[in-house]
Structure 1
Amino acid sequence: MKKVPYSVDAGLIGGAGLLIFICLAGVLAPWLAPHDPLAMDLSNRLSSPGWTYPFGTDHLGRCILSRIIYGIRISAVFAVLVMICTFLISLPVGLLTGYLRGRTDHLFMRFIDGMLAIPDIVLTIAIVGLLGPGFVNMAIAIILVRWANYVRFIRSLVLKVRKEDYILSARMSGNSHLRIMRRYILPEIFSPLAVFGALDTGKIVLAMAGLSFLGLGTQPPTPEWGIMLHDAAGYFQIAPHVMVFPGLAIMFFVFGCQLVSGRFSRRHTAAVKEV
């Protein structure tokens, strides 16, 4: 096995730095936000960016910058928590179906294929429509929709790893199935899972923003990026800043996730080629 030379990846550092900066801004929101994100001042409604309001104000005179900063706590943190919950549900299922195989695996994967045949956004909207709009229901809907993608991806990784010679050696050495999955398979698939998780976090932010924009997710007056876009839609022509800045916040977060996942993917591929 050749040793992969270490090199500084500017894209990875930049993406990670951008995400860390955004998350820190959310943690320090009470100290960084110049105004109360819920405070209304109708005398300053739709004000252009300036010294008092760096990103301007919305249709109710609320500080857009403050709402974006506080919105990090909901948009970014929510996406990470949903991704972690989905992994916790999908990881044991994907490991067991990929490792044990059999008729149960075949029937279960046909069920997964049926779920994946429906577009994610359509199924998510249907579930939220049944459960009702709201933050918790939106989280449940996204988890119920995205877990099938996670199971299929994890299962494909396990199917590839279980064919390796060292897995056969582990079986012949008397290791239990649980020990093989925990000690030999799980560490091997961790890097691709990190790539998938980083990429999917950005997709979850987009899904959440889309649901809130349609009025099915977070409800006013909560400072959240998607609901900010929803509130600003009617004022875009006369005050474009009310929609531009929340859109940029979503774009930068998704861009950071794309950078991290893309660079991790390239480094993992390079490491595999060197083996």
Structure 2
Amino acid sequence: MKNNISLLLGIGLLISIILIGLAAPWLSPHDPLTINLNERLSPPGGIYPLGTDHLGRCLLSRILFGIRTTVTSAWLIMMFTLLISLPIGLVSGYIQGRTDHFMMRIVDGIFAIPDIVLTIAIVGILGPGFFNMIVAIILVRWANYVRLIRSLVIKVEKEDYILSARMSGNSHVRIMWRHILPQIYSPMLVFGALDMGRIVILIAGLSFIGLGTQPPTPEWGVMLHDATSYFQMAPHVMIFPGLAILFFVVACQLVSERLGKLGERE
């Protein structure tokens, strides 16, 4: 019962964040890009519920619109990463042999370098920017999904019903699509939920160091970067974007952890 409550809490929090992001144009009290130097670094309260940043822009409005930028980026990255990794992981784990050996050497090479270091290197080559950041993260994260999918496929492939499907004359593609993929769907969902939080942290980190989303786009990492010089005199400019990242990551963690435990019971 406790696990179900935590799962529902995580799902509810994720859905709430997404819905708030979709409704940002109607919920935001101000234009997130409007500069008002007369109100710069205003504390929370009044017409600015969460205060303003160093340019007098409404923090609440920028956080709400930042959901669209940050969370949408994370969803795009995970979707394209899965589109790339799923066929590679299925084929590698099912066929094995030289194909599997070749792919695993590439994956091992990627794993030899920490995610953030390799991502920074790729963005450094491509150049800073929103699109290049997404491409760089996909090029780094796909290996994690391939290794997971491959291990799941190898485990499922040993089951008796897969042998029966082969003996019944089913093609390899049909076996992978109809018999293996449904069995690995649940663990992939758990891993994807957890990875969403990691991707958001990676996006915010790249934007924080100036390699991701560029100002004045409202994005949580950009907001943290802009707030570093003013944290002592106006701590709210860094606290609220940081809390936004924290809430989203905690929601992803709750969903992933509880889904994993439910899957173990089954």
TM-score w.r.t. the length of structure 1 is: 0.95
The whole-number CA distance in structure 1 between the counterparts of 2:2 and 2:48 is 42
The whole-number CA distance in structure 2 between the counterparts of 1:125 and 1:111 is 19
SS of the counterpart of 1:9?
A: helix
Q: Which runs of 5+ in 2 are unaligned?
A: none
Alignment of 1:104-253 (within 5 A): 104-253=99-248
Shift of 1:108: 1.8
SS of the counterpart of 2:154?
A: helix
| Count of residue pairs brought into register by the alignment | 266
Q: Which runs of 5+ in 1 are unaligned?
A: 1-5
Supply the AA of the counterpart residue of 1:154: I
Kept in 1: contact 2:126–2:132 (CA 8 A): yes
Is 1:35 aligned to residue 36 of structure 2?
A: no
Query: Which of the residues 71, 75, 80 maps onto 2:75?
Result: 80
Is 1:24 aligned to residue 16 of structure 2?
A: no
Partner of 2:43: 48
Supply the AA of the counterpart residue of 1:65: L
The whole-number CA distance in structure 2 between the counterparts of 1:247 and 1:53 is 18
Describe the superposition over 1:44-83 as per-residue Cα deviations: whole angstroms up to 9, x where unpaired.
1000000210100000000000000000001011101110
Partner of 2:52: 57
Query: Which of the residues 247, 257, 262 maps onto 1:267?
Result: 262
Is 1:9 aligned to residue 7 of structure 2?
A: no
The whole-number CA distance in structure 1 between the counterparts of 2:112 and 2:3 is 40
Report percent identity of matched pairs. Answer: 68
SS of the counterpart of 1:143?
A: helix
Describe the superposition over 1:216-269 as per-residue Cα deviations: whole angstroms up to 9, x where unpaired.
000000000000000000000000000000000000000000011111000000
Structure 1 outlier segments of 4+, above 6 Å: none
The whole-number CA distance in structure 2 between the counterparts of 1:178 and 1:104 is 16
Shift of 1:107: 2.0
Partner of 1:94: 89
Shift of 1:200: 0.5
Q: What value does the CA root-mean-square deviation take over the aligned residues?
A: 1.1
The whole-number CA distance in structure 2 between the counterparts of 1:137 and 1:129 is 9
TM-score w.r.t. the length of structure 2 is: 0.98
